[in-house]
Amino acid sequence: MIPNKPLREKYGEVSWIDLARILVVLAQLPTVLLWNLFKAAYVLTHKSWRRILGDTAFRFIAGRWNARQFQYVFGTTLQTYQKWTKQHGIAPLVEEIDDDARLMWIGPRRMDRVVLYFHGGGYVIPMQDFSVSFWNFVRLELAHRNVHAGFAVLNYSIVPTAIFPTQLTQAVNALKYVLASGCRPENIQIVGDSAGANLAISLLAHILHPVKGVPELSSPRIKGMYLMSPWVSLTGDTGSHSANDNTDIVGAGTFGYCGRRVLESVPESLCVYLEASKVPMQWFHGIEDLVERVLFTAGEAECLRDDIIKVSDAFSAHHSSVELIVDEDGVHNDPFYDFLVGEKKNRSKLTAEIISWLQKGFEEEQAVR
């Protein structure tokens, strides 16, 4: 069995120094926002003032708080979901699955078509409400196009509650649960951002190269997998990490910190499942039998850009239907931040492309039937 005990540190447990630092950062934030808004007046940018302020705030806080502070302030993924459903007048629906994981439905539960979402956060930060708002928007837009699907969020454990491969076990159980509930593989599309996309890739790798101690999964060929800004290098050392350190919403130092937090307790033999950019190209041989279509997206101005392109190329070497979109001027998980700041008129063009890609996948399935 793989050793996988919770770390001594408790979830969201902060010291008085951590609490003081939270307050100091929040006190500094208004000055930082005003200064960056002033600078933006002299820089050519397509982003609205809302995005300028939102991106600045996110980057400033992300670069200064540690995982304990984020967990203390934002609570758990389940709490985020419960708060979001209450604010939006949507009935919460949570289904418990094995190994302390659960599915949380955005809107009605339906098993004719399912989008299974793995959230990001570097395996150390809970899901944020703006990502739920994004996927709810996608759900509603698909419905307007007469493409109805259930959207389920996997609530998996994060550090220090559990370490990898617990998250992989939970992802396997989630997919098994959806299949056992009657959804056919060709009606399932898995989506993930950042660490969630990392988890989705790990799921494919586990089917190809089973991890001892993790439940086996037969190789159902699901319809699609969308990977938004996948965190494919936890030890990021490629050129874009330095070139885009000052442009990305998540700096190279923040990625490095999260990577160290995750990898410090993971057996070396399992690191290959977490760093897709470091594996031999042959590692992905056979993925075309597991998923019909794959979409990668990366921001032109994000630290992970070069790593994502490399992994996309590796997928393409073994799969005939892999698409890569590099979002012009985009940052890490760029479409999400429109929903953080309430942007409605100047949303990322990538959002429309994501919706169309998912729509095409479900419509192809319907045409076959």
Lowest mean pLDDT among 29-43, 80-94, 181-195, 216-230: 29-43
**β-bridge partners, 324:** 296
Give the model confidence (pLDDT) of 236-270 as tens digits. 888 899 999 999 999 999 999 999 999 998 998 99
Is the four-CA dihedral 92, 96, 129, 339 of positive or negative sign?
Answer: negative
Average pLDDT over residues 125-130: 96
Task: Give the count of beta carbons closer than 10 Å to the beta carbon of residue 109.
Answer: 14
pLDDT score of 229: 98
- 218: confidence class by pLDDT, cuts 50, 70, 90: confident
Find the angle CA(233)-CA(290)-CA(354) to the nearest 5 degrees.
65
Identify the three-state secondary structure at position 7: coil
Lowest mean pLDDT among 40-44, 140-144, 165-169, 330-334: 40-44
pLDDT score of 4: 46
Give the model confidence (pLDDT) of 286-316 as tens digits. 999 999 999 999 999 999 999 999 999 999 9
Which domains does the chain possess? 9-74 (no CATH), 75-368 (3.40.50.1820)
Average pLDDT over residues 130-139: 98
**Residue 247 near residue 301, CB atoms below 8 Å:** yes
Compute φ and ψ for 301, nearest 5 degrees.
Answer: -105, 20
| CA dist., res. 193 & res. 120, Å (int) | 5
**Residue 362 near residue 113, CB atoms below 8 Å:** yes
pTM of the model: 0.94
